[in-house]
């Protein structure tokens, strides 16, 4: 079904939008350096403690959406029920990844729940910032395809900054590429369902599934005494292969988007 509603009427300035994004990045990325001063892999960060900096960033965005002057409702609404069946394919992909992780062996229940909690925090914070506030602000200024591409590109670029947290920019580059692709797909399901809640939930479950498969493969490699460098190569390549079906499906969902299309 094509989207034909009118563009957003957000009156926020470009400078205000930039300040909002920079503040979010500062709290999220560099806040992690305060909580974890020494470099650590993302898997260790998500399995060791609650991501307090992500929680703080999410609370900040919720306050901006609720009370910020000039910000309209940015998509936290009920989804269009008639379009929810379109999610059958990404839900199937998600179920297959989680099933594979379960077969390979999940970590202890406490670790699993902590990763799930952190994934939910990340899903809300990143969707509110990018598919929510940033896209809303961009959509008020440019047509829909530039807004989609800028949003997805910036979403990917921000993940490069994970290198400051982990101390390794190689995996951060892979994460950035994966995030840009994932962002395009999440934009597709947001536009087609009309609800950020759908993209928040899928984003959170996707991150959870990817970390579960990563932890499971790490355990399997340790049990088989695999070489560390070979393991790193697999962990960097597998996420990109896993997201490919969703990216192709997202492109199909976006096939009816036109320069004058809006998301409301």
- Residue owning tokens 């990325």: 29
- pLDDT, position 241: 76
Structural contact between residues 80 and 195, judged by C-beta atoms closer than 8 angstroms? yes
Answer whether residue 239 is part of any domain: yes
- pLDDT, position 2: 43
Rounded Cα–Cα distance for residues 258 and 87 (Å): 21
DSSP string, 118-183: HHHHHHHHHIIIIIIIIHHHHHTTS-HHHHHHHHHHHHHHHGGGHHHHHS-HHHHHHHHHHHHHHH
Phi, psi of 191 (to 5 degrees): -65, -35
pTM of the predicted model as reported, rounded to 2 decimal places: 0.88
- Residue owning tokens 């992500």: 54
Confidence of residue 21 (pLDDT cuts 50, 70, 90): very high
Residues belonging to the chain:
264
Percentage of the chain lying above the pLDDT 90 cut: 55
Please give the residue that has the higher pLDDT: either 223 or 212: 212
- Mean pLDDT of the chain, nearest integer: 85
Mean pLDDT value across residues 91-113: 92
Ramachandran region, residue 190 (left: φ > 0; alpha: ψ -120 to 50; beta: rest): alpha
Please give the residue that has the higher pLDDT: either 204 or 30: 204
- pLDDT, position 196: 96
Answer whether residue 169 is part of any domain: yes
Answer whether residue 9 is part of any domain: no
Answer whether residue 145 is part of any domain: yes
Answer whether residue 148 is part of any domain: yes
Mean pLDDT value across residues 49-71: 90
Other C-beta atoms closer than 10 Å to the C-beta of 264 total 17
Q: 143-177 pLDDT, tens per residue?
A: 999 999 999 999 999 999 999 888 888 888 988 99
- Expressed as residue numbers, the domain containing 136 is 14-256
Number of domains the chain is built from: 1
Query: Is the model's pLDDT at 56 over the cut of 50?
Result: yes
Burial of 262 (0-12, 13-18, 19+ CB in 10 A): middle
Answer whether residue 4 is part of any domain: no
């Amino acid at each position: 079904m094509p989207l034909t509603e009118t563009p957003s009427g957000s009156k926020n300035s470009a400078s205000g939008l930039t300040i909002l994004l920079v503040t979010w990045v500062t709290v999220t990325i560099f806040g992690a350096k305060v909580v974890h001063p020494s470099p650590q892999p993302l898997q260790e960060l998500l399995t060791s403690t609650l991501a307090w900096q992500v929680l703080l960033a999410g609370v900040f965005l919720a306050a901006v959406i609720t009370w910020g002057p000039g910000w309209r409702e940015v998509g936290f609404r009920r989804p269009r029920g008639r379009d929810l069946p379109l999610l059958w394919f990404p839900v199937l992909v998600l179920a297959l990844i989680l099933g594979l992780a379960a077969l390979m062996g999940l970590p202890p229940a406490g670790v699993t729940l902590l990763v799930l909690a952190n994934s939910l925090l990340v899903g809300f914070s990143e969707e509110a910032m990018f598919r929510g506030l940033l896209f809303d602000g961009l959509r008020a200024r440019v047509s829909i395809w530039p807004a989609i591409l800028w949003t997805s590109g910036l979403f990917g670029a921000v993940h490069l900054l994970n290198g400051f947290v982990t101390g390794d920019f190689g995996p951060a580059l892979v994460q950035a590429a994966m995030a840009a692709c994932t962002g395009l797909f999440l934009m597709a399901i947001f536009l087609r369902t009309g609800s950020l809640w759908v993209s928040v939930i899928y984003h959170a479950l996707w991150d959870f599934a990817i970390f579960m498969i990563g932890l499971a493969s790490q355990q399997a490699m340790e049990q088989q005494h695999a070489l560390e460098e070979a393991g790193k190569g697999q962990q960097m390549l597998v996420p990109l292969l896993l997201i490919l079906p969703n990216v192709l499906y997202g492109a199909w969902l976006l096939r009816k988007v036109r320069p004058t299309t809006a998301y409301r």
